[in-house]
Amino acid sequence: MAGCPAHRCTTTRGCLARARDGGGRGATPLDVRARGPRDMAAPPLAGFRDLGSPRRRVDLARTHPRWLRAGSCMARCASGLLGLLLCCAAAQDAAAQLRVVEVPLATRSSLDSLARLGFEVAGMRRVAGELHAVIVVSPETETRLARQGYKTTLPGLALAPTRVAEDTFRTFHSFDNPVSGIRATLSAWTSADTLIHVDSVGASLEGRPMLVVKIGPAADDPARPNVLFIATHHAREWISTAVAMKLIRWLADSGGAAIATHDVWVMPVENPDGYQYTFTNERYWRKNRRLNSGGSYGVDPNRNYPTFWGVDELGSSSWEYAETYRGTAPASEPETRAVMAFHAAHPPVVSLSYHSYGGLLLYPWGFRAGELPPDLTRYQALAGTELAPAVTDSVPGSPQEHYHPGPGWNLYATNGEYTDWAYRTYGTIAFTTELTNGCCLQGLYYGFEFPDDSVLVERVFRDNLPFARSLIDASGDLAHAPGASGLVPGVPRFTSLWPDSWLSLDASAPRPLSLTLRTGTGALVDRSVQTDSLRRGVLRTDWRTDLHLDAVRALRAVATNVSAELVSLAGAEPLDKGWRGWWRDSVGAPGAGKYSWYAAGGFDTLTSPPIDLRGRTAVWLQLWTRHNGSAFTPEQNGVIQFSGDSGRTWSNVALIVGDGPSWYPMRVDLPQAGGRRGAQVRFISNQFSWWLDAVGFASDATTVFAQLATAAGADVSENPVRSDQVVISWPATVGSARISVFTFTGERLYEATVAAPTNEYVWDLTVDGGARRVVNGAYIIVVDVDGNRYRKRLFVARPSQ
């Protein structure tokens, strides 16, 4: 039956072309008369070698009729010729009905619901003021969507979908075309250029070779760092392969020192079966071509990696019809195992996975909102920031000027995804680029179907080339190399002081046994620090401590030179006066108090009171935040501005775009704030649902841990006091000290006792057990200690409230 010409519909993409052992050693087309045993490998690729075993030459793409295994689709459909034809026809008909639709979103939770139903949200658009999600549906998934009450509409102002017929595109090329296909092109390049070497790391489910191109010297050299560029996990994302092919050509023609001192590899198609299928059957196909147990096809290759595989139904799906179906087990797919084999043989220092679309530059972590990688400063220096981006977007008609950088969960949660796996397993500094914005060409939305225009494709490649080059350069000096935007990794430092301490230290540094904490009452106490495998990176290790029960004034990491002082702190609590704007929400950051500031999604501004930073250097802003936005709608954003002149002029210091549904800390360096008398910050929400808590100025240059000099009497940290606290100090003592605060009329307002040897106390200017702050005016500080009485006149002159 396999040799019967009547069944020539059973191509290598059909329901019957299953490879032995999931495709690890090739596949066999049933119609051997129409396709000979070696045809799958044509045209031959010079110099194939198995990268897992470099000494053993292999011919991975051979096929042979005797490899057809029992239990294949043929066995399941073998009830007769009619059953066989119906099986094939059903697969073709179902596949041909994928279409792009829009789904109106009533609330933010609707987006999570779509993800839990297994849809990849490909884009977000505003239609008549209403937010719509762009998704791809099949008849099965659209039925499931309808059962949940969702209504779909066809996209307005969209390009007509590409009709898959003949492989005649000018810029995009299939995998198998014997003249212009990916295999044919690489074979021709290899024959003509001694700098291009094509290797195979395995075979796909249907037996296509998993091709990896090395540009530069043929031999591997441990002295040269490995860099990997990988494209098209998802079959329909043609622009990814086009950019990868252009990168190969550019490196061979112009790479120079980059390819002489680095081992640069490019895998232009991670999903060759699905990619080929988009040229012959279904343009919008995403997954590979696995025949699942329920009769559906495909596993999402970018949800099949072992790290965090299947941790929830938000980042991947267990439903086999879903676009984000993760498979039956981690690394169940031969394509995934091929990528894993490459990493084992040639661990990349850095890597980049090309996808489309969205105009984004993403890095770990993606599996859970609020989680940040321990090597965050390295990622941010390479990917850039919203104010100093690494990748510009110059495609005509694009509504954005640059690609938006951030952790993967800024887009949506993913698990079993490549970059999380590569970073956690091999320490690879791994990125995902979502190429192009998806809009617009002559005002029309193109989405996955980037125009078949060589000039526009070249523009996308040129926009992304500086970032690719910066990754290659960084692989040789990971700790110090600047990114494409000129940013460099930050030094070891605190990124949060309260309510949790987040401390970033060199990964090679000895473990800090503890933190020394200078409390708000002046006491010195020790607190332990913790880390785990998730917080151990390549360059840095994060150490964290819960300090929400402590009144933190300053922190120092024992046995290091890393310390920081909290100059001011506020969080929408009743005593946090002087802040203007926004609402007070009843839920604060974990451990930070009962309230947080909240912008409800319109246009609103929150402004801090002025803080006196004279005498301060190395100033930074600490805050905890969460937000509901979308990386697809960057016009929804949050702007952080700084003023050093009490609000007369303002400058942007940070911009937040995308989703962030869980609280996380953020550090914003403010070198311009040092020494400013009227330092203020403000937060501007632009149609952005935004929460803020534990906001304060901090300084990495602190003297609070230095031995206090002997004083003749009581002293205070500032006079007049313009902030919400003052430090009272006195000469070193052997006994406990009693601190009293009086009005000028002699009324005692406040009293506290401090045990020796501490000789300072931080008063937060509150009385009546913290119920209210003192009013502006003059006060007398009295310190009784060791039989001596010290007096100090204090003036409180906080800004008007």
Active site residues: 434
Give the list of residues 6+ apart from residue 476 with CB closer than 8 angstroms, or none. Answer: 225, 261, 262
Residue 582 to residue 603: CA distance in whole angstroms:
10
398 DSSP 8-state letter? -
Give the list of residues 6+ apart from residue 239 with CB closer than 8 angstroms, or none. Answer: 172, 356, 357, 435, 436, 450, 457, 460
**What is the rounded radius of gyration, in angstroms, for the C-alpha atoms of the chain?**
31
- Using the Cα atoms of residue 227, residue 232, residue 134 and residue 115 in order, give the sign of their dihedral: negative
Closest to 400 in 3D by CA, of 732, 41, 121, 655: 655
Name the packing angle between helices 454-475 and 376-383 (round to 10°): 140
Q: Sort residue 248 into left (φ over 0), alpha (ψ -120 to 50) or beta.
A: alpha
117 DSSP 8-state letter? T
Residue 184 to residue 174: CA distance in whole angstroms:
10
Secondary structure E strands in 323-446: 350-356, 360-363, 404-407, 429-435, 439-441, 444-445
3-state secondary structure of 585: strand
- The letter for the amino acid at 374 is P
- The letter for the amino acid at 793 is R
CA angle at 260 for the pair 52 and 466, rounded to the nearest 5°:
95
**H or E segment and range at residue 697:** strand 689-699
Residue 367 to residue 311: CA distance in whole angstroms:
8
Give the list of residues 6+ apart from residue 714 with CB closer than 8 angstroms, or none. Answer: 728, 729, 730, 781, 782, 783, 790, 791, 792
Strands 360-363 and 429-435: antiparallel
Read out DSSP for 484-549? TTS--PPPSEEEE-SSEEEEEEETTSPPP--EEEEETTS-EEEE--B--GGGB-SSEEEEEEE-TT
**H or E segment and range at residue 552:** strand 552-557
- Using the Cα atoms of residue 446, residue 449, residue 454 and residue 456 in order, give the sign of their dihedral: positive
In this structure, are residues 264 and 473 in contact, taking their beta carbons and an 8 Å threshold? Answer: no
Sheet holding 651-657, edge to edge: 603-607, 680-686, 637-643, 651-657
Peptide bond into 87 cis (omega under 30): no
CA distances from 293 to 71, 81, 306, 319 (A): 12, 22, 21, 11
3-state secondary structure of 469: helix
The total of other beta-carbon atoms located within 10 Å of residue 253's CB is: 11
In this structure, are residues 503 and 377 in contact, taking their beta carbons and an 8 Å threshold? Answer: no
Residue 635 to residue 685: CA distance in whole angstroms:
10
Residue 343 to residue 396: CA distance in whole angstroms:
37
Residue 208 to residue 62: CA distance in whole angstroms:
9
In this structure, are residues 168 and 162 in contact, taking their beta carbons and an 8 Å threshold? Answer: no
Residue 458 to residue 21: CA distance in whole angstroms:
40
In this structure, are residues 659 and 411 in contact, taking their beta carbons and an 8 Å threshold? Answer: yes
In this structure, are residues 292 and 320 in contact, taking their beta carbons and an 8 Å threshold? Answer: yes
